[in-house]
């Protein structure tokens, strides 16, 4: 009998009841704007900032409208200017080069390794070959590069590191929370990330001046004293006249939904990893399929899983995707020439011209990606792995 998987790859869990209750209270109050507070009230948005700063160990956190907005704000806060090159990953998603382009800067793509992390040799070479002052480091699909080696290269090259932690909220390198190694860490709370407010983002830093700029950029007017975590007033005095207001605040409603999710985040991460391990173990030993082994130093969050069909023909990869889809397993492919759904390649972002990267192209052509929503049971995950293993094996043997 041929098994068919019946689950839904885009179905998230409901918002926790505590979040629904808090959201109702915000709506009943009518005070949805983060600066609409009564005497003595801190507000959901400021409380979320305090709690997220505490969770990551950062001095400051700022809640904003989206992850992409957090990244663009980070670039503005460190003074990236129009026309300036900004290094970033070739293997990432469209909002990353999009954030760079949104400030008029020019993305310069750095290659990807078989471990699905940024190629550190290529990083070193491109840091040397360009005048880039900033690396927008995308921890794409939750894979962390050797952060110690990366920081060393960036320090030597004088590069400021901004981390895109859209897929690493709750992850760590040698115990250091993802987002804490760079000058700034950026997170998304969009529906498909580790916390769900529909849309939303967070930015963290320890730097007084960067945070003062980011707060004003986010649209604080002169009400920045009401934010959850703020540098001393004299820092704002230095920056408030020459920092534009580029409105992108988070409202109380989203923050109310997120606070109970933050309290549960570590448990959610453990639940993702249980599912990840079941799929990973189920895929081991599949002929022609390469497991992406995770380094010991990395504490990851397995909210999605990737494997490689390295050096397969495009037709054969397409065949695997179609056969799995017919059995209810929705896989994404990063090698597709045309952008589709959420997936696209560095060379499809034509506003950012790139030289060919054959070594990275070989890997991108082989990356197969699958989301692991927490609405899947462990048995669902085991079944998904059985289906993928059977279909990859069938196509591999036929091609042999
Ligand atoms: C989702 C995502 C972002 C941006 O998040 P939004 O909140 O959707 O703007 C940034 N980087 C990566 C890798 C993402 O997947």
How is the chain split into domains, by residue range?
17-259, 265-399
Pocket flag, ligand 1, residue 68 (CB < 6 Å): yes
Which tokens in the block code for residue 69? 């907005």
Pocket flag, ligand 1, residue 258 (CB < 6 Å): no
In ligand 1, which atom is closest to the CA atom of 66? 7
Q: Which of 190, 341, 367 to mutate to test the pocket of ligand 1 (most atoms within 8 A of CB)?
A: 190
> Are 219 and 247 spatial neighbours (Cβ–Cβ below 8 Å)?
yes
* pLDDT value for 1: 63
The yes-or-no verdict on residue 42 having pLDDT over 70 is: yes
The tens digit of pLDDT for each residue in 278-321 reads 999 999 999 999 999 999 999 999 999 999 999 999 999 999 99
Question: Mean pLDDT across the stretch 269-274?
Answer: 98
Question: Mean pLDDT across the stretch 60-81?
Answer: 98
Pocket flag, ligand 1, residue 137 (CB < 6 Å): no
Angstrom distance (rounded) from CA 173 to CA 16: 29
**What does CATH list as the number for 265-399?**
3.90.1150.10
CA of 47 to the centre of ligand 1 (A): 23
Question: Mean pLDDT across the stretch 197-223?
Answer: 97
pTM of this prediction exceeds 0.85: yes
> Are 337 and 343 spatial neighbours (Cβ–Cβ below 8 Å)?
no
The yes-or-no verdict on residue 343 having pLDDT over 80 is: no
In ligand 1, which atom is closest to the CA atom of 186? 10
Angstrom distance (rounded) from CA 186 to CA 60: 12
Q: Which of 67, 89, 163, 189 to mutate to test the pocket of ligand 1 (most atoms within 8 A of CB)?
A: 67
In ligand 1, which atom is closest to the CA atom of 190? 7
The tens digit of pLDDT for each residue in 117-161 reads 999 999 999 999 999 999 999 999 999 999 999 999 999 999 999
Query: Which residue(s) pair with 307 in the sheet?
Result: 291, 368
* pLDDT value for 335: 82
* Residues 283/285/287/290 CA torsion (nearest 10 deg): 60
CA of 28 to the centre of ligand 1 (A): 31
* pLDDT value for 336: 79
CA of 194 to the centre of ligand 1 (A): 11
Of 3.60.70.12, 3.30.70.1400, 3.30.1360.30, 3.40.640.10, which CATH number belongs to 17-259? 3.40.640.10
> Are 336 and 345 spatial neighbours (Cβ–Cβ below 8 Å)?
yes
Pocket flag, ligand 1, residue 95 (CB < 6 Å): yes
């Amino acid at each position: 009998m041929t098994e068919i998987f019946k689950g839904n790859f885009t179905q998230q869990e409901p918002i926790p009841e505590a979040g629904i209750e808090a959201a109702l209270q915000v709506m009943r109050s009518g005070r949805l704007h983060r600066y609409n507070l009564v005497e003595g009230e801190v507000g959901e948005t400021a409380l979320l900032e305090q709690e997220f700063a505490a969770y990551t160990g950062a001095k400051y956190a700022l809640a904003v409208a989206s992850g992409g907005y957090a990244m663009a704000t980070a670039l503005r806060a460190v003074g990236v200017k129009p026309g300036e090159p900004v290094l970033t990953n070739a293997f990432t998603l469209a909002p990353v080069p999009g954030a760079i382009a949104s400030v008029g800067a020019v993305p310069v793509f750095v290659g990807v390794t078989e471990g699905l992390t940024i190629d550190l040799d290529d990083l070193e070479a491109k840091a040397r070959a360009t005048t880039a002052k900033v690396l927008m480091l995308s921890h794409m699909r939750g894979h962390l590069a050797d952060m110690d080696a990366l920081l060393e290269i960036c320090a030597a090259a004088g590069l400021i590191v901004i981390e895109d932690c859209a897929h690493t909220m709750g992850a760590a390198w040698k115990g250091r929370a993802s987002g804490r190694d760079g000058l700034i860490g950026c997170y998304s709370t969009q529906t498909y990330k580790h916390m769900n407010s529909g849309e939303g983002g967070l930015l963290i830093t320890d730097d007084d001046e960067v945070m003062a700029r980011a707060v004003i950029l986010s649209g604080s007017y002169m009400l920045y004293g009401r934010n959850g975590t703020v540098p001393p007033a004299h820092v704002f005095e230095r920056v408030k006249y020459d920092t534009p207001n580029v409105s992108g605040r988070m409202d109380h409603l989203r923050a109310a939904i997120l606070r109970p999710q933050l309290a549960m985040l570590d448990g959610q991460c453990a639940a993702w990893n249980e599912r990840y391990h079941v799929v990973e173990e189920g895929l081991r030993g599949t002929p022609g399929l390469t497991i992406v082994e995770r380094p010991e130093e990395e504490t990851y969050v397995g909210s999605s899983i990737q494997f490689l069909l390295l050096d397969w023909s495009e037709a054969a990869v397409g065949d695997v995707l179609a056969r799995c889809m017919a059995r209810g397993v929705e896989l994404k492919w990063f090698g597709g020439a045309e952008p589709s759904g959420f997936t696209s390649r560095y060379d499809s972002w034509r506003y950012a011209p790139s030289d060919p990267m054959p070594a990275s192209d070989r890997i991108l052509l082989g990356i197969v990606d699958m989301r692991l929503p927490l609405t899947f049971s462990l048995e669902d995950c085991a079944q998904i792995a059985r289906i993928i293993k059977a279909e990859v094996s069938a196509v591999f043997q036929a091609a042999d």
